[in-house]
Structures are given as structure tokens and as C-alpha cells.
Chain A
Amino acid sequence: MRVELSRTGVVAAFLFVAALCLPFADLTTAGHDPWATLSRMAGGFLSPEFNAIEQIARAVALTVAFAIAGVAIGGLAGLCLAPFYRLRVVRIPAIALRSVHELFWALMLMQVFGIGVWTGLLAIALPYCGIFAKVLSEILDEADRRPADWLGPRVDPLTRFLWARVPLARPQMVSYALYRLECGLRSSAVLGFVGLPTLGFQLDSFFKQGEYGAAGAVMAIYIALIASVRVWMRPRLLPAWLVAAGVMLSQVTAPPMGSGALWRFLSEDIVPAPLRQGNLGELGPWLWDLLQGAILPGLAATLVVAQLALIVAGLVAFVGQALIVPRVTGRIGAAAGHLLLVVLRSFPEYMLAYLFLQVWGPSMLPAILALGLHNGAIIGHLLGRQAEGLTLRPDAPKGLTLWGWEIVPRLFGSFVALCLYRWEIIIRESAIMGILGIATLGFYLDDAIVALRIDRAVVILAATGLITVGIDALSRAIRARLGAGSLRRTEPRPGMTPGRASGC
């Protein structure tokens, strides 16, 4: 028998868990004067310096090139897998591919390809392939089946697919691919933080040199780039963009890896040390040591960061859902709300956390704030779009009263469902924050890689993937018991194309 859950009950449970996490959260800002840094940063953003424009332009071009080529490869592979997504042999590898974050893929791929083009391309293409396979299969499933049925049983599957399935799903698929490209631009920029020649790398080096004006210029260009995707990326221009990306990427030179790096990686590096040394008896203690010394503490920190970030995201979204509705905030207020949410959504959480880290120093605070603001802005934006689509009675109230009496109660179901959707993503991203030095799973992973103990890194990675998959399953179970398992089936909602809710 299935237990039905109440929405407020679920929210209360999450608040309770977060309260339990609070004593374990390291939120110190000791030894840092946030205001001095903040004012210098703000000065930099308000007066961006474009002196280093040549360097920045190259980083922009490479960011775009990695994104376009990576998303194209991942999308094509995902499209080929999508019709077979029901089969377990396809579904499970796809889940595994997308449960590992792009940054982790990059760290691992570097062991094989160095800081080269293929590291960047595959770090985007591999997880995106898994995501595309899932979402495109959902889009295909939802398309009108009647034309395919009309063709009768004698038509071969390829013909049925190309004539009567793909054309019907094409508009949604193109729109989703465009959305994924936006995600790809974020991923590509963030890959710079682990050494690829994209915007993240520029930003990092400007910060390290204290050139806040140049860093401000990078940010301004980055926001303009993301905000204008739909202007410069037209499906018809895709071939031209792909050629340009290929040309750009062919200019990237990387120190060559020794020959046989891939084989060494697969046959030696990732094999657990006790097995490599032929000492099978040591495997148990080796795993225990890894579990106790890295996975469990990393997992605990990841969960603490994630649960608190989820609450922050919820708060931001709860308040922010009305920001873009003119009936609540007025026309000017709605425009300002749009701008705020766009900025918070455009910046990858990793980049936000990096900025906050400069301000408050290393603790869980920057990570929690960054994850909360970014994800909250995404949920708030999606809810705001729904709020704008609500049909209100002609004499409905305005302002705060409308927010409290109409928008909040009517959208509360979507609010809880969207937060649950983002939960899995927040977990994945909390793990990543470790690369910035916060002791989540990524910290231990990065540590193992730096120490060239790739075998340990692989186990930590697998553990991270399993946690993500587990949380995803838990979130789906809760959603199903809330009667919000599928957001899209209840009623058509503006801005609710498949896959968007689960997002980048």
C-alpha cells in the first residue's frame, strides 16, 4: 500500500533535516574582511577593463567552440540512443554517464588526454549524451503516435522512426538542444577552472593577479554571451558554427601525452592498488580505508551542504516566484526581477561559489549560498512563468496580497515538485564544490587525482554517482507520493518543456 504524503509535511521534513545538518555546517568567515574584497570586486564589475580583450576574446571563442562541439557530439550520440532508452543495456550506461559531473569527467579524462581538446569535448559530450538520451526519449514518447500507427505493422522500424516519429518531435528536440547549448556554455566556461583554455581559466587568472577590472569584463561578456544564445544560434547556422568550432579547437595546442596513455589508464591506473600488486587479501582493508577516510566524511559534508543549499534555494524561489509577475511587483519591479534572476541563472553555481569564496574565504558558506541562489533563481523563474500564465479573476488583488492568496497556494505543488527535481542536481553540484577546497566528495576526489591515486579516485567517483542515482530515486518516490510525479501531465504550463525542470 502506498503512503500518500502531504506537501507541507514534506517541506517540514526537509526543514527538520536541514536543522539537524546546521550544527555540522562550517559557516565561519574567520580571517577575512569580506567588505574590502567585496568593494574591490564591485569596483571591478562596475568599471570593467577591456585592455586584455585579445586574451578574453580567445577564451570566449574557445568557450563557445567547446560548448557547440561538445553538445553536438553528445546530442547526436543521445539521439541515436533515445529510441532504445527502454532497454536496460542503454538506460543504465546513460544513467552512469550523466550521474558524473562534467568537472569530474574532465579531471579523469585529463589523465588520458592531458589538458587537450578531447578532454574538454568529452567532458561535455559524455554526460550530455546520457541526458540527451533520456530527455529525447521522453520527447519522442510524448509526440503524437497516430501517424506512426497509421503506417501499419509492415513498415520497418527505421522508416517509421524517420517519417512518423522524428518530424513530430522535432520542434521540441530543437528547442531542448538549444537549451542544452546554454547549459553547455556554462559547463564549458567552468571547465576553465580545472585548466582548459576557456573563460573560467581567464577569470581565475585575473583574480589571482588581482585584476578585478579585467575579471569584471569577463563576467560582462559571459552574461551577454549566455543571454544572446537564441540570437546567434539558429538551427540553420549550425553547420557553419560547427565548422568554426572545429577550426577554433584545432588551434589548441596541448603538451602531448605519452603514447599508450589510454591503455595505461585502463589497465593500470584505475585498477585498485591491492589487485595491481597481486595482493587480493589487502582489497578489503584498502576499501575500508577509502570508505572511512574519504567517502564517508566527503559524503557527510556533501549532504550537509546540499540540504542547507536546498533550503536556501527554496527560500529564494518561494520569494522570487512573484518577482517577475508585473501584477505583484509592478512593471519596473518585474523587469528588475527578470534581470536579477537571469544573472543568477546564467552564472554557473561553481563560478558563483568561486566568487563568494574570494569574499568569505573557504568554508561551506560560499558553496551553500552559490547553490541556493543559482537553483533558487531557476525554480523562481520557472514558477514565475507559470504565475504569469495563471488565469485570474478580473477583480483579483495585486501586489503582496496576490502573491500570498493566489500565487503561493496555487503554485505550491509545482514549487515542491521543482525543489525535489533540483535536489538531485544540488547533491551533484555540492560534490563538485570540493574542487574549490570545501571538504565535500569532490575534495577527496581531487586529492586522490593530485596524488596520482587514480584507483581511489574511481571508487570515490562511483560512490558519488551512486549517491546521485539514489537521491534521484528517492526524489522520484516522494514526487510520486505527492501526486506530482509528472509535472507535465497535470496541465500544460508555459515554459515547461521536457527536461527543463531538472535543468543543467
Chain B
Amino acid sequence: MLLLHGADLGYGGAPVLRDVRLNVAPGERVALLGRSGSGKSTLLAALHAAAVRDLRVALVPQDAALVPQLSALRNVLMGRLDDHGAWRNLRTLIRPARADRDAALSDLSRVGLAPEADRAVEGLSGGQKQRVALARALHRGGDLILGDEPLSAVDPRQADALAATIRDAFPSAVLALHDVGIARAFATRVVGLRQGALLFDLPVADLDAARLEALYAR
């Protein structure tokens, strides 16, 4: 479904990742693990560029990329703007139709933010912003979700529930995660990145302490 083979990835001249081979099959949920700067974001960007050609992808970028001046509800509605024409979107911007509003509200309630629907995003906390970005991805839906640390700012108990929500909403997923526990519960497969190279690529059951030690060791 989604394939990178032997690519060097990076910005400008210097590749951050060398000779990356990764194949994501439909139904797989991949967790990317690794210390910060190991190349997870670069890999996700490359996957995104490859995936959007023939899949419907919902993206949760690390920086959320929300419009702070608009309400949480409108930010969620942004997930489906490319399904409609300019006039319909203009009308939605001024006043969302009842059905659109209800759909966005139900996605906001899946991340526990329905009460904040009409507040401007700039007034929300970091964790709430991250949940709005997640609700936008849920609202968009599609074949695949790509997330760069999508749960880094929410509290641990919520994170487990949100990971389950993501699992149920998308057939396939690639998420960069920093919490190994969540990765174990969420993923079918784990990919370890260290200093720009793939250290391992295994079914989640084979992830053991020695491998984790090697991945995170200084």
C-alpha cells in the first residue's frame, strides 16, 4: 500500500535518513520509536509525500498547524475542506450547516473537547490544541493516519484512550510515539530509528528490553 525503498531522505544536501526501506500493508499500525533527532519526522514527511498520491491521508503534524484565531469547531471542519467547493466552504466559514456542525461536534467529543467547540484555539492549552488537531484528523478520516507525536502533550490516561480511538477510526496508521507503553498497546509493528538509520522493524510482540536499551542508549 505504502512503500519506500532505498531512499535517502533529508533537507538540502545532507540526508537525515539513509537507505530507508519501509512497506506499510493495509491494516498495519506502525509505531516509530527513537530519540528526538533520530529522523522520525523526516520519515513521516516522506511517507506523507508518497501516500497522498493515491490514498486519503489524515495528518497530525508535530506543531498541530491549527489556525489559532478560529474556533476549535472550525479547525475541525478544516479536515474536509478539499471535499467541497469554494462557495460551500465560504458558507461554512461564516456559519456551518447544522449537519456539518453536528459531525464536527461528535468528532470533538471523541477527544473530549465538545464543551470547548466554540472557543478560539489560541485560548486553549497545549494538550487541548493537540486534541483539536487529532479531532481534525478524525473528522477528515481516510485510509491512513500519519501522526508525529500526536499524544505528546495529553496526560497519560487520556493518551491510552485516544490511541484506542485512533486505532478504531483508521484502517492503517503510522505514528511517531515517545511512550513505549502506548506503542505496545497501539501498534502491530514497531520501527526503531537511531541516528538516521533503521535499527529494527519488527512485529510488536518481538520488541524486547535489549532492543529498547540499544535504541535509547546514549
Contacts and interface: CB of A to CB of B under 8 A. Distances in A.
A152 interface: yes
Given A146-B61, A150-B61, A152-B52, A164 B82 contact: no
Contact of A159 (B52, B65, B74, B81): B81
A149 interface: yes
Contacts of A147: 65-67, 78
Interface in B169-198: none
B81 A167 contact: no
Given A159-B90, A163-B93, A150 B81 contact: no
Contacts of B126: none
A123 to B, nearest CB: 33
A164 B86 CA distance: 13
A266 interface: no
Nearest to B82: A154
Interface in A152-168: 152-156, 158-159, 162-164, 167-168
Interface string B44-79: 000000001000000101010111111000100010
B90 A158 contact: yes
Interface residues of B, number: 20
B42 interface: no
B143 to A, nearest CB: 14
B86 A156 contact: yes
A326 to B, nearest CB: 32
B63 A162 contact: no
A159 B91 CA distance: 10
A163 B86 contact: no
B85 interface: yes
A154 B90 CA distance: 16
A170 interface: yes
A51 B63 CA distance: 63
A144 B59 CA distance: 17
B152 interface: no
Contacts of B85: 156
A158 B59 CA distance: 22
B128 interface: no
Contact of A155 (B52, B69, B82): B82
B41 interface: no
Given A147-B65, A167-B69, A168-B67, A162 B93 contact: yes
A397 interface: no
A151 interface: yes
Contacts of B59: 150
B89 interface: yes
A338 B30 CA distance: 62
A164 B85 CA distance: 15
A171 interface: yes
Contact of B70 (A153, A154, A167): A167
Contacts of A152: 52, 82
Nearest to A167: B69
Given A167-B69, A168-B67, A151 B82 contact: yes
A153 B78 CA distance: 13
A151 B78 contact: yes
Contacts of A167: 67-70
Contacts of A170: 69
Interface in A454-474: none
A155 B85 CA distance: 8
Nearest to A158: B86
A150 B86 contact: no
B70 to A, nearest CB: 5
A155 B66 contact: no
A146 B63 contact: yes
Contacts of B69: 167-168, 170-171
A162 B67 CA distance: 11
Contacts of A164: 67, 78
A151 B81 contact: yes
A146 B78 contact: no
A168 B86 contact: no
A156 B84 CA distance: 9
Q: Which of A147, A151, A155, A170 has most chain B Cβ within 10 Å?
A: A147
A150 B68 contact: no
A146 B65 contact: yes
B109 to A, nearest CB: 22
Contacts of A162: 89-90, 93
B46 to A, nearest CB: 15
Nearest to B85: A156
A330 to B, nearest CB: 39
Nearest to B63: A146
Contacts of A159: 81, 84, 86, 89-90
10 contacts: A147-B78, A151-B82, A153-B52, A154-B82, A155-B82, A156-B86, A163-B81, A163-B89, A167-B68, A170-B69
The list of the 6 closest CB pairs from A to B, nearest first, reads A146-B65, A154-B82, A159-B89, A167-B69, A158-B86, A150-B65
Interface of B: 52, 59, 61, 63, 65-70, 74, 78, 81-82, 84-86, 89-90, 93
Interface of A: 144, 146-147, 149-156, 158-159, 162-164, 167-168, 170-171
Given A150-B61, A156-B86, A167-B67, 12 more contacts: A146-B61, A146-B65, A149-B65, A150-B65, A150-B78, A152-B82, A153-B52, A159-B81, A162-B90, A163-B74, A163-B78, A168-B69
